[in-house]
Each structure stands twice: as structure tokens, then as C-alpha cells.
Amino acid sequence: MQMFPAFAVPMAAGALPDSDKLNLALKTLLLKRDGDDFKNPYASMEQPPGLFESDFNFFSWPDAPVQALRQSLWQAVSAYIAELNNYDQASLSQLHIRSHTWYHITRRGGFFGMHNHPMASVSGVYCVDPGTHDLNQPTSGILRFHSPFNVSNMYVDPGNAKPQAPFTSGNRSFLLKAGELVLFPSWLMHEVLPFYGDDARVTVAFNCWFERKDAGAKKA
């Protein structure tokens, strides 16, 4: 008998190299653009105090730091779907990324409730600045993903009480660092826990869906 994971959630995490200068430029730009002129007018969830969500056109901005981030993140997304689907470079070159992209500026008390992203296949969160981490609030600003195996604990006894990775069914949490990127399937439920810093937590998020270029997709 050989034990194997019959079901798995494809997630990826890593850091953009040498991102300090880029993150500083992004933070400076985004903190200047957290007013009504840039706010999402069609938010799908109620925005609590302390959370600013931009419109979903962030990567259309011509600003150099935004376009530099766009290029780096799309390279990461391309690598993710290539590994997931066993695509070679020729197959990747036939795909076009369509997307919604936005940013969050979270101040003390801000959070984002549990949700997923319908009508997309790949989503991601990039951390520009995690804000100050309050040691008295260890869950401050945590990005938490909820296990889709929500019935796995319907009965627990010594036969299944302590499963080892990759068979655990608990949630997966990230205390993001500046420059860190997390990619995940858009259907996966997730949330951001309340932020308790005295400064700002700045993140960029996106949803992607893919079209073949021969289907007439226009470049986003």
C-alpha cells in the first residue's frame, strides 16, 4: 500500500527579488491615491472602516512602478499556470491574461471578510508593505485561506486525529512580508483578519482568466 494525496489545492508563494525600491515607489504612489477618485464604486462586499479598496483597473495605470509590478506578477502567474497545466513555452505564448487588478490600503481595524473570486481561475495577493506588526496581536493582518475539506472533521478519533502534511485539513495563514506574492485558485475561500498597526498595510490583488489569442482576445 502506498499513501498519496487524492485531492490538492495548487498554491504558490514566494518573494520578488530586489523589490525594496519598487515597493517604496508603489507605497508612495498608492498612499496618495486612497480617496474617492480611486475608490471601487462597485464593491461586491461592504467595506468596513479602516479599509480602502481601489477600482479594478490598477494595472492600466501608466506609472512606471505599476507597469514594473505588472510585468513581474504576470511572469509569476505564467510560471504558475505552466507548472500546473504542464504547458510548454509555445502553449503559454498562445494565451492572453485578462484581469481585474486593485489595491487595498488597510489601517487600524480594517479587515476583509471571507470570500472567493467567481468568474476567474487564478488570483493573487502581493504585499507592498505589511505595516507594523503588533506583537500583542499575532493575527493582525493575516491572510487566511480556509480548507475546502470542510467535512473532514465530522468525526475525529485516534485514527484520524493527527494527520501529517499534506493530509492536514486546517486553514493556511500568511503573515505577509514586503515583496511576497501568494497565488491561489480563485475558488478558494479566504479572508484578511483585522489589522492593528498604527500605520498602513498596503497590498495589491488580482483575478486572472485566460483566453487563447486566436479567439480574438485583446491585450489588457
| Digit-coded pLDDT (tens) for 123-139 | 999 999 999 988 899 99
What was the pLDDT predicted at 218? 52
What mean pLDDT do residues 1-28 have?
Answer: 96
Please calculate the CA angle 205-207-211 and round it to the nearest 5 degrees.
150
Residue 219 maps to a domain: no
Within 86-192, residue ranges assigned H as helices are 89-93
- With a CB cutoff of 8 Å and minimum separation 6, the contacts of 154 are none
What was the pLDDT predicted at 214? 79
The amino acid at 63: D
Residue 163 maps to a domain: no
Residue 164 maps to a domain: no
What was the pLDDT predicted at 215? 65
CA distance between the termini of the chain: 49
- Output the DSSP codes for 60-82: G---HHHHHHHHHHHHHHHHHHH
Q: CA dihedral defined by 114, 119, 124, 128, rounded to 10 degrees?
A: -80
State which residues form the domain around 93: 12-34+49-146+169-214
Residue 129 maps to a domain: yes
What was the pLDDT predicted at 217? 45
Would you tell me how many other CB atoms lie within 10 Å of the CB of residue 124? 22
Sign of CA dihedral 54, 117, 186, 177: positive
Residue 160 maps to a domain: no
Cell numbers given for 133: 506588526
Would you tell me how many other CB atoms lie within 10 Å of the CB of residue 189? 15
- With a CB cutoff of 8 Å and minimum separation 6, the contacts of 157 are none
- With a CB cutoff of 8 Å and minimum separation 6, the contacts of 197 are 107, 108, 131, 132, 133, 134, 140, 141
Banded model confidence at residue 170, pLDDT cuts 50, 70, 90: confident
Residue 127 maps to a domain: yes
Counting residues of the chain whose pLDDT is more than 90, the rounded percentage is: 84
In whole angstroms, what is the distance from residue 125 CA to residue 12 CA?
11
Give the count of domains, the chain: 1
pLDDT surpasses 70 at 1: yes
Q: Looking up cell 500568511, which residue turns up? A: 174
Relative to beta strand 122-129, strand 180-185 is antiparallel
What mean pLDDT do residues 99-114 have?
Answer: 96
What was the pLDDT predicted at 133? 82
CATH number at residue 209: 2.60.120.620
Per-residue pLDDT tens digits for 40-72: 998 878 888 999 999 999 999 999 999 999 999
pTM as predicted: 0.93
- As a whole number, the mean pLDDT across the chain is 94
Per-residue pLDDT tens digits for 3-13: 999 999 999 99
Counting residues of the chain whose pLDDT is more than 70, the rounded percentage is: 97
Residue 159 maps to a domain: no
What was the pLDDT predicted at 24? 98
